[in-house]
Structure 1
Amino acid sequence: MLNIKAGVNQTVEGAMRLMGILILSILLFVSCQKQNREEALQQFIEQHVAKIKPLEKAAKEAYWEAATTGRQEAYKKSAELELKIRKIYSNPQEFAFLKDLKTSKKIKDPLLKRQLQILYNRYLQNQIDSTLLRQMVELSSKIEEKFSTFRPTLNGKKVTNNEILEILKNETDNARRKAAWEASKQVGRVVADDIIKLVKLRNQAAQKLGFENYHTMSLELSEQRVKQIDRIMWDVAEYTLEPFYNSKRALDQLLAQKYHISVQQLRPWHYHDPFFQETPQVFQVNLDKYYENNDVKEIAVKFFAGIELPVESILAKSDLYERDGKNPHAFCEDFDREGDVRILCNLKNNESWMETLLHELGHAVYDKYNDPSVPYLLREPAHIFTTEGVAMLFGRLSRNPFWMQQVLNLSDEVRQQIEPDLNRYMRLKQLIFARWALVMYNFEKALYKNPDRNLNKLWWKMVQQYQLVTPPENRDEPDWASKIHFAIAPCYYHNYMLGELFASQLHMYITHHIYKTKNWQKVTYVNDPRVGQYLKEKVFKPGKTYPWNQMIEKATGSKLKVDYFASQFLE
């Protein structure tokens, strides 16, 4: 007689064996698929880097030549190479491949997943019509060439940006100050129409990709959410409102007294800087006199050597001094992510250029001391603003009385004499810059939201709202367009403010955890290799391996917030 129970057991066991084989097969298939996807992505990345790396270096070389010589053919070559790069990122088949991988969520390897995200964002922003892409690149290059080669006319004579700044800093005649300020705005008339046209082209591109406008797209694809940045900038506005109001009132009284006018007569040309983004020299101490007989370059070389972040190889390839045709500003460029890092400056032996040199070298050491084992696509700063933060961390030192004492060999007596004014100066500088950054952020948001509105009027409305500066009477000029960032660094300026927040967060961490003190004013880093080592290990070497807030939390124990900046400069 058939053993029914045994037969049932055998049937169940057979079914279970078959089920086990099936599950194992599925798991092996899924594993194979995952492995194939990750292998395919790795192969894609290797081929992509092989294409993009030499083009990126060639484009930077062409841009460097353009910026250092002003040659039109160099600007043309730079634009052509940028277009080639962007065409690679505009490839629809490659974007579809990356999009499929991203939506599949099958890439589990952390480094591959991170590179996929970076590539996806870069490809997405370039999925636009090739004709439109060419128009944007060529128009942007044309505007930058105009900025670099334009020299304003003052009293019938061509003048440099440095000469205008000198007049605004030192001239006491109100009419001459006004004329110099107006000269600083002349470039606005030259580029305004082109900038508006470029804004519309950028918006057209962004809207084809499903974004409200180019401003929104820029933030989202740089891993920032609009609401997140709005909230941070709102906090900055709230934290700084009352301190700025009180400081500005005191500042206006000093300026009115200096120029023999009433406070009500103060206008933009009385604030020592074309945009009132820098601090007027109203305190007794003249910072420039401490630097004029010193070589700011040599000071910087010794300082960075003392924190074991040597910069000689950077400076050897850099372009440091003013001449005709050269870009009048300053910037840092990493040419290959393998150590070829250079800066452009127009150095003078004064405090402003001491700050700028320290700032640009801050960018440079971030790039120079990366980790070569990190994949090429991740071997760059965690975010634009994190490199700004490091640059600002060092740039602030030029007016720190304790740093000045150490690098300039000042006596205790001299340091104590200048310390109160410098402390007031540093606080005022941060307040002034924060309010200026609010102008830039909010104006640019409005610019991309509606470029056809009366931008000249809107500009002065925001200047008055955030900076408490009285606009010139009956002036209808595109003064906003004289700010180069709208053309060549769009939707970027808020990152300077985030950089200031990050600089304060880094400084407070170094103060509390490396120096183990609460006296942040006296921490200058001079001849302390621990500072360089900390920055290399915690900030530079991770590169873009982590999203910016994750890197900041790993480096400082906290995500980015306004509190450290407030405790340093506002309390």
Structure 2
Amino acid sequence: MVSMKKIVKNKAIKPKSKKIASKPKGIKKVVKKEKEKKSGKKQAPKSVSVKKLLSFLNTQYVKLHREYENYFWLSYMGDGTVTKAMNEALARRDAFRANVNLYKNVCEVYRKAKGTNKKKLASWKLFFEKFQTPAELLTLKNTIAELESKIRTFHATQKEGYTDPATGKFVEASSVKMRTIMRTNPNEALRKACFEAVEKLAYGTLEDYIAVIALRNQYARGLGFEDFYAYKISTDEGMTKAELFALFGDIYEKTKYAFADIRKMEEKMPGLRKPWNFGYMISGDFTKEEDPYFQFDDALLRWGRSFSALGIDYRGGTLTLDLLDRKGKWNNGFCHWPEIVHYKRGKRIPASSNFTCNVVFGQVGSGSQGLNTLFHEGGHAADRLNSDQSECCLNTEYPPCSTAWAETHSMFLDTLSSSIEWKTRYAKNAEGKAYPFELYERKVRKIHPLIATDLMGIIFVSDYEREIYETVDLTADKVLEIAKRMYTKYFDRSEDSLYALNIPHIYSSDSSGAYHGYGLAELSLSQWREYFYKKYGYIVDNKEVGKEMTKVWKLGSSKTFKEFVKIATGKPLTADAYIRSVTKSLSDMLLDAQRKIKIMEQVPEYTKPVKLNAKIQMVHGKKLICDSKKSFEDMVEKYGKWLRTQKER
């Protein structure tokens, strides 16, 4: 076993006592020395030079960010011993972001600065404005973090599994595995057993969840917002709830006709709308039929070749990937950056990225899930690792970074691996036969009535959280009622479900009240794809597409979501491209797919060695499996050998 301290580039910093200073020592020294230098004697600190202030801010924030993120990775990968240290590191980072004296210093120097320095200080001014927090609210935020850690620990260590309907015996299985069974297993009784088992998981932390909702609302109101959702969408996207739900409401009204079409399908497919049947009856057979073309053993190499063909360059950064499911590990994929892009004496220092998912190796459908993660989280990594911004506060995944814009890149790239032109080029079975168009056509003909509902799941979570935060005197009964009512509205199943309470995002302050980012990203990526298709005719293996994406990645978080969309596509954000794509007729959809495949026949396949300009390491918890030191292909071979040992267990 290799220590994670050896795996990550920067060693975890030993936690200090939880002390929040009103003014960091470093800035006191900077101010003091600057005044002494001018007068020749000690004076009370009042101002500081632009150069030294910017140097201090960047150095301190890089250090605090790294410290927290290293602990975060260890904790979320299943090491519960570092949770206390993680929360202490989080408190130190939050104290820096909320420091009123630093904010005043920035404002003072900003007023006098000119040119490039004024622009740099404007970034920090915006940064501190987003995080100004009274001392009593910082204490409250620490309380929230501790309660969220308690919830996460419960979820990571709880006993999960289902009662086998054939034997009556309990079968241990993760929630991830049970959901896969519901999508792929032909035994309805077994699917129902898994559904009921997952539903029970929703009750495990219900009281703590209600408590954390109240605390988050208290925190947001202390900052002048009506509730936590209003705070999050304003901070993350510069939008209001009214703006967001007017947009989502319009999409709902224009696409809900699909529910009537699904009910018609049920007339020929009895039981279709039962929650444990829907996924399997719609695509379960297709999942099994497609599985030979999406073996997880092949996912890593296909991701590398596809990104290389696009010309994606990680700029010398480090990627750490932990991809298999295991007990104690956070049950949802994510990408974080322990080392952020920053500059030392004018030299750009590359960043590092950690990303993860929960592949149940050997299970039908797991290969497709793993491939999607590599494209999605790999897209996140490419975004931040390509930033050229001199101020490190513009190079993280936190505000002023827009969640919607961050998800635009990751979701744009994961749509590549689900596109028919990518499948017919890259997805091959063990005999080397390409994914057949005939299979695609059969699948599209069956699922076409559902395509218009693609955004319903995202609007569902967003609307559920909006109402949860708006509800006065929240109780367990109210939470359960809201969850069931929202599920009925946005999925129109024949049975109730507490699905909303099994969404991992709602249990973390960073991701709660932010699920709408996926929805906004769906709109922007649809607009971006339409732009690229009109300009180039194709996207897969198109280096020009990669160049245009890299161009906006270099801007970090220096623009707002709406500004970025206009820069990238040449048009303001609308839902028009998305609506056009999901309401397309069946015949037009099939003709469009054939046209895209035809165009790809003229595009040379990428046959060179994978070139991503990254140091990649494959890990399983604290164990280092292999890395790309020799070559990407060598890493793929070694990881494949290790994977096969996991399948045999």
Normalization by structure 1: what TM-score? 0.80
Q: Which residue does the alignment assign to 1:341?
A: 353
For the pair 1:212 / 2:226, whether they are aligned, the reply is yes
CA distance in 2, matches of 1:322, 1:238: 38
One of 530, 543, 566 as aligned partner of 1:529: 543
For the pair 1:505 / 2:527, whether they are aligned, the reply is yes
For residue 361 of structure 1, report the CA deviation from its aligned partner. 0.9
Higher strand share: 2
- Answer yes or no: is the 8 Å Cα contact 2:428–2:434 preserved in 1: no
For residue 116 of structure 1, report the CA deviation from its aligned partner. 1.3
Q: Which residue does the alignment assign to 1:329?
A: 332
Q: Which residue does the alignment assign to 1:21?
A: none
Distance change in 2, residues 1:310/1:427 (3 Å): farther
CA distance in 1, matches of 2:441, 2:64: 51
Amino acid at match of 1:63: F
Higher helix share: 1
For the pair 1:444 / 2:465, whether they are aligned, the reply is yes
CA distance in 2, matches of 1:293, 1:444: 34
For residue 253 of structure 1, report the CA deviation from its aligned partner. 4.5
* 1:121-520 mapped onto 2 (5 Å cutoff): 121-124=130-133, 128-155=136-163, 156-222=170-236, 223-242=238-257, 244-253=258-267, 255-256=269-270, 261=271, 266-272=273-279, 280-281=283-284, 286-292=289-295, 295-310=298-313, 317-338=320-341, 339-347=351-359, 348=361, 350-371=367-388, 373-380=389-396, 382-409=401-428, 415-423=436-444, 431-450=452-471, 452=474, 454-472=478-496, 480-488=500-508, 489-513=511-535, 515=536, 517=537
For residue 248 of structure 1, report the CA deviation from its aligned partner. 2.5
In structure 1, stretches of 5+ residues that fail to align are 1-36, 518-522
Distance change in 2, residues 1:449/1:305 (3 Å): same
For residue 132 of structure 1, report the CA deviation from its aligned partner. 1.5
CA distance in 1, matches of 2:296, 2:235: 46
Tell me whether 414-423 or 482-491 shows the greater mean CA deviation.
414-423
CA distance in 1, matches of 2:464, 2:576: 25
CA distance in 1, matches of 2:197, 2:85: 31
3-state DSSP class of the match of 1:319? strand
- Answer yes or no: is the 8 Å Cα contact 2:423–2:435 preserved in 1: no
CA distance in 2, matches of 1:56, 1:313: 20
Tell me whether 340-349 or 312-321 shows the greater mean CA deviation.
312-321
Tell me the alpha carbon deviations over residues 141-179 of structure 1, each in whole angstroms, 9 at most, x when there is no partner. 222222333341312232123320232022333332221
CA distance in 2, matches of 1:492, 1:553: 22
CA distance in 1, matches of 2:379, 2:142: 33
For residue 440 of structure 1, report the CA deviation from its aligned partner. 1.1
Tell me whether 496-505 or 283-292 shows the greater mean CA deviation.
283-292
3-state DSSP class of the match of 2:326? coil
Amino acid at match of 2:568: A
Q: Which residue does the alignment assign to 1:15?
A: none
Q: Which residue does the alignment assign to 2:75?
A: 66
Distance change in 2, residues 1:312/1:287 (3 Å): farther
- Answer yes or no: is the 8 Å Cα contact 1:300–1:358 preserved in 2: yes
Distance change in 2, residues 1:107/1:253 (3 Å): farther
- Answer yes or no: is the 8 Å Cα contact 1:92–1:127 preserved in 2: no
- Answer yes or no: is the 8 Å Cα contact 1:147–1:484 preserved in 2: no
CA distance in 1, matches of 2:445, 2:514: 28
Distance change in 2, residues 1:445/1:106 (3 Å): farther
CA distance in 2, matches of 1:367, 1:59: 18
- Answer yes or no: is the 8 Å Cα contact 1:435–1:466 preserved in 2: yes
Amino acid at match of 2:150: K
Tell me whether 181-190 or 198-207 shows the greater mean CA deviation.
181-190
One of 77, 92, 100 as aligned partner of 2:85: 77
For residue 437 of structure 1, report the CA deviation from its aligned partner. 1.6
CA distance in 1, matches of 2:483, 2:277: 18
Over the matched positions of the two proteins, sequence identity in percent amounts to: 19
Q: Which residue does the alignment assign to 2:629?
A: none
For residue 504 of structure 1, report the CA deviation from its aligned partner. 0.9
3-state DSSP class of the match of 1:326? coil
Amino acid at match of 1:115: W
CA distance in 1, matches of 2:530, 2:316: 30
Q: How many equivalent pairs are there?
A: 506
CA distance in 2, matches of 1:390, 1:375: 21
CA distance in 2, matches of 1:313, 1:298: 19
Amino acid at match of 1:142: K
CA distance in 2, matches of 1:426, 1:62: 43
For residue 283 of structure 1, report the CA deviation from its aligned partner. 5.4
- Answer yes or no: is the 8 Å Cα contact 1:191–1:481 preserved in 2: no
Amino acid at match of 1:356: T
Distance change in 2, residues 1:403/1:84 (3 Å): same
For residue 541 of structure 1, report the CA deviation from its aligned partner. 0.7
- Answer yes or no: is the 8 Å Cα contact 1:301–1:312 preserved in 2: no
Distance change in 2, residues 1:77/1:401 (3 Å): same
- Answer yes or no: is the 8 Å Cα contact 2:487–2:500 preserved in 1: no
In structure 2, stretches of 5+ residues that fail to align are 1-45, 164-169, 342-350, 585-649
Q: Give the aligned CA root-mean-square deviation in angstroms.
A: 3.1
- Answer yes or no: is the 8 Å Cα contact 2:97–2:132 preserved in 1: yes
